[in-house]
Structure 1
Amino acid sequence: MRTLVHLSDLHFGRVDHTLLAPLRERIEHIAPDVVVVSGDLTQRAKSEQFEQARAFLDTLPGPQIIVPGNHDISLYNVFRRFVKPLARYKRYITDELAPFYLDDEIAVVGVNTARSLTIKDGRVSREQLAAIRAQLAAVPASVTRIVVGHHPFDLPDHFEDGDLVNRAPRAMQSFAQSGVDILMGGHMHASHTGSTAQRYQICEYAALVVQAGTATSTRGRGEVNSFNVVRVESQKVEIDRYGWDAVHHHFELVATEKFIRAGNIWTAQNEGLMAAI
């Protein structure tokens, strides 16, 4: 079994600093094999915000798979936005925009969905999808395949289709060819887990979607600060959601969902939700 901590939308520059130490302590206690951060490390892509994000990431265990979000591209500086959109991200966080982790149980592929030509929306290109297919083609069939991006490839019904990453249907067809098992993302500041089967009717294929809320931002959008712990086995995935307890000042387990795989189709196990925020 492999354990991944899934953080998203840290938004340094709009961070509740009282959460940082309890979050770090909880992650240390979980002792993950991999830490995943699905974008928006900063609020406005400023150097000091990236420095703060880097300092916090350095307190967390590794290896780390990190991808940028739309907030990690300068908004008001036109030169930086269109000529050097991720220069500061590369300087302070990582110059690897397509990070990759592989061991004998999991393969984790990061994809950059942030773009200069849009304020908040994201996109995945044909070249990126081809690169993911090439990476996963060399991965043994027994390995669980995970793709991490900032913008979501799937969302619950009450969200607009426009909230999905651009070219999501094409991406899903590509992921089906590669046997991608899990799609991790953020962006919406809303926690969600589920199967892609309802939105995407792809023969004998349904991936597991794991969306994270914001771990540390003051902009919760109606949801408490939270993060996910994803425990992966060959035919089973268990997802724990930890939420901020403002009374006791710690992150506590608030929900657990279990999914099982039959062939290339992931579905929810009956045990389902333990609790709700």
Structure 2
Amino acid sequence: MRTLVHLSDLHFGRVDEALLAPLKACVESLRPDVVVVSGDLTQRARSEQFKQARAWLDTLPGPQIVVPGNHDIPLYNVVARFFTPLVKYRRHVTADLAPEYVDDEIAVLGLNTARSLTFKDGRVNREQIGRLQERFNALPEGLTHVVVTHHPFDLPEHFDEDELVDRAPMAMQAFARCGVDLLLAGHLHSSHAGNSAHRYKIAGYAALVVQAGTATSTRKRGENNSFNAIRVEKDQLTVERYSWQGGLGIFELASTELFRRNGDVWESTR
């Protein structure tokens, strides 16, 4: 079994400082094999915010798979936005925009969906998806395949389809061909877990799609700060959501959902 801790939407520059130490303690207690951070490390892509995010991430266990979000691209500096959109992210966080972690049970690949031409929406292109498919296909059989993005490929019921990453149907067809099991994303500041079968009608295939809420931002959008821990077994995935309990000053287990594989379809056991 492997344990993934899934954090998202840290938004340094607008964090609740009181959450940082309890979150670190909770993450450490889970003894993760991989820590995943699905974008929006900063609020306004400023150097000092990236430095703060990197310094805090350095206190967490490794290895770590980190991808950028739309807030990690400058908003008001138009020249930087269009000509050097991720230069500060690459300088202070990681130069690798397609990070990966592979062992004898899991393969976790990061995919950059942040783009200069949109203020908040995300996009993937055929070259990115082609490289990801080739990488998964080159790995030994039997691994659980995980993709990490900032922008989501599926949505909770109350969100508009405009929130989906652009070219999602094209990407999902490729994910089916290379056997992607689990899609991790953020962006919405809303927790969710479910399979992709309702939105994408791909015969014999449904990935598990897991959204993380915001771990540390003050912009909670009606949901307590939260993060996910995902227990990965060969044909079973357990999604645990940890939620901030302000009165207790801790992150506490709030819900547990179990999903099992039937062929290439991940289904809830409820």
Partner of 1:252: 252
Partner of 1:97: 97
Aligned-partner SS, 1:244? strand
Aligned-partner SS, 2:237? strand
Offset at 1:157? Answer: 2.5
Alpha-carbon distance in structure 2 between the residues aligned to 1:157 and 1:203? 22
Alpha-carbon distance in structure 1 between the residues aligned to 2:156 and 2:211? 10
How many aligned residue pairs are there? Answer: 270
Show structure 1 runs of 5+ residues with no match.
271-277
Q: Which runs of 4+ in 1 moved over 4 A?
A: none
Aligned-partner SS, 1:219? coil
Partner of 2:7: 7
Q: What does 1:210-249 correspond to in 2, within 5 Å?
A: 210-249=210-249
Aligned-partner SS, 1:65? strand
TM-score by length of 1: 0.97
Show structure 2 runs of 5+ residues with no match.
none
Aligned-partner SS, 1:15? coil
Q: What does 1:110-121 correspond to in 2, within 5 Å?
A: 110-121=110-121
Aligned-partner SS, 1:170? helix
Alpha-carbon distance in structure 1 between the residues aligned to 2:101 and 2:246? 35
**CA distances 1:98-118 after superposition (whole Å, capped 9, x unpaired):** 001100000000000000000
Give me the CA root mean square deviation: 0.5
Partner of 2:208: 208
Offset at 1:6? Answer: 0.1
Alpha-carbon distance in structure 1 between the residues aligned to 2:156 and 2:251? 25
Q: Percent identity?
A: 64
Partner of 1:46: 46
Partner of 2:77: 77
Offset at 1:78? Answer: 1.0
Partner of 2:109: 109
Alpha-carbon distance in structure 1 between the residues aligned to 2:36 and 2:118? 25
One-letter amino acid of the structure 2 residue matched with residue 269 of structure 1: T
**CA distances 1:29-70 after superposition (whole Å, capped 9, x unpaired):** 111000000000000000110010011000000000000000
Aligned-partner SS, 1:104? coil
Partner of 1:275: none
TM-score by length of 2: 0.99
Offset at 1:139? Answer: 1.5
Q: What does 1:51-66 correspond to in 2, within 5 Å?
A: 51-66=51-66
